[in-house]
Structure 1
Amino acid sequence: GNPFGIEFSEDSVWITSVDDHCIYRGKSNGKKLRRVVGNGLIGYSGDGGLALEATFNWPHEVRADNAGNLYIADTRNHVIRHVDAESGIVTTLAGNGQPGMAGDGKRGSEIQFNQPHSVVLDGEGGLLIADTGNHRICKLDLESGVLQTISGTGEKRLPVDGGSSLNSALAGPRSLAVDKNFIWIALREGNSIWRINRKTNTIHHVAGTGKKGYTGDGGSPKQATFKGPKGLVLDHLGRILVVDTENHAVRRIDQSLNRVDTVLGGSESNTSYPLKRPHGIAYRKGFGYLVADSEHHRVLQGN
């Protein structure tokens, strides 16, 4: 398959494979994979039945909660789906299967997304959603089912550094990560990394000038250039690992040192593990990271 999204849970790793429309589960070292979601056919069917028998359309990302329930960005179906850990039953949490932009104050099938690519649990009872085609980030309250936009006006351009996150434009929010203070965002079409302060609801520039390129290693992250970043995760030291997809690289931003470096991939000459359009990344302390080397159809481990 073509691995895109990767997620660690307590004893497992979960991998989405977009071109066979499935999700696989393996041991936390990435070994012994088995299909657990999707029957391999493209479609949008199966709600109310077993997830293994359901159809999906390019599921880009999966997240697991502490109980093992799954939250899936079913990207080309324009919906967010849920798999119950106990029963294995799949349901649609939000979206009606048609692309559109609707949601604030709405629930369930009243909501419309346009190619949601990333989901992440916010630790406060919400699911954050990168509604990529609508250039916005939403929060779905998992108790009430109500959706609210937290950033993005629908306009495709770079945010204003330090401005209100709610009133900010976004350029293709593609991947999200969260910690107790910030929501971290990779803007694919903005070729840059940003973060939202969860207390002040302001948005701040982290890395990337916004221009496409592959420069700046060893220097300031804000002066560096990226090319279509599509994944990010924080390590246990708070450094940001960015999947710089169209540069075929994983880059690490250390804000305490104010520097960015390539840690995997990049130009063929400097690596024994060339990457080809990598996408998802997951990190676990003591293990390192797993990155989906998508067009090589493999998952690699790095430290």
Structure 2
Amino acid sequence: MDSSVIAVGIIETFAGNGKSRSTGDGKPATKAGMPLPVGVAIDPQNQSLYYTESGSDRVRRIELATGIISHVAGIGETCYSGDGGPAAEAGLYLPLDVAFDSKGDLYICDSGSNRIRRVDMKTGIIDAI
């Protein structure tokens, strides 16, 4: 490793307040509670970071330009529901990872329901694939 990089490296909190309750939507991500954040993906089209909260069964977004956090998918209850409807009103069951395809759609590894879910980012509609 390049020791000059290590010597000048500074670790800062990008998101999370250390609390295990999902809080802070609409506020700076550093003020947000983030229960068990696991999977992370960058959406290059919208300049945002998306991540799964396995502890709250939700997917959240952090706008990179502003640092503001918001809710994307999941109702905060461990269940499988909502295909064909808004992702923000769908039930997720232990989401572990997220990824984007070339069209900008979001894929969620909904591990507890043994499914991959897709969110059409133009409409906000979620479906199992």
TM-score (norm 2): 0.89
Q: Does 1:260 align with 2:126?
A: yes
Which residues of structure 1 form unaligned runs of 5+?
Answer: 1-90, 92-140, 264-303
The count of corresponding residues between Structure 1 and Structure 2 is: 124
By relative contact order (CA 8 Å, sep 6+), the higher-ranking structure is: 2
Q: Does 1:173 align with 2:37?
A: yes
2:114 maps to amino acid: H
2-side partners of 1:255 and 1:238: how far apart?
7
2-side partners of 1:158 and 1:182: how far apart?
19
Which residues of structure 2 form unaligned runs of 5+?
Answer: none
Q: Larger Rg: 1 or 2?
A: 1
Q: Kindly indicate whether the alpha-carbon contact (under 8 Å) linking 1:164 and 1:203 is maintained by their aligned counterparts in 2.
A: yes
2-side partners of 1:250 and 1:224: how far apart?
13
What displacement does 1:145 show?
A: 3.0
The Cα offsets for residues 243-287 of structure 1, whole Å up to 9 and x where unpaired, read as: 001111100011212210000xxxxxxxxxxxxxxxxxxxxxxxx
Aligned pair in 2 of structure 1 residues 253, 143: CA closer, same or farther (>3 Å)? farther
CA RMSD of aligned residues (A): 1.7
- DSSP 3-state at the match of 2:29: coil
Identify which of 46, 53, 60 aligns with 1:187.
53
Identify which of 93, 107, 111 aligns with 1:245.
111
2-side partners of 1:142 and 1:248: how far apart?
41
Question: Would you tell me which structure has more strand in proportion to its own residues?
Answer: 1
2-side partners of 1:144 and 1:194: how far apart?
31
Where do 4+ consecutive residues of structure 1 move more than 4 Å? none
2-side partners of 1:258 and 1:208: how far apart?
12
What displacement does 1:164 show?
A: 1.1
What displacement does 1:144 show?
A: 3.6
The Cα offsets for residues 110-138 of structure 1, whole Å up to 9 and x where unpaired, read as: xxxxxxxxxxxxxxxxxxxxxxxxxxxxx
Q: Kindly indicate whether the alpha-carbon contact (under 8 Å) linking 1:218 and 1:261 is maintained by their aligned counterparts in 2.
A: yes
TM-score (norm 1): 0.39
- DSSP 3-state at the match of 1:186: strand
> What is the match of residue 23 of structure 2?
159
- DSSP 3-state at the match of 1:175: strand
Q: Kindly indicate whether the alpha-carbon contact (under 8 Å) linking 2:52 and 2:96 is maintained by their aligned counterparts in 1.
A: yes
Question: Would you tell me which structure has more helix in proportion to its own residues?
Answer: 2
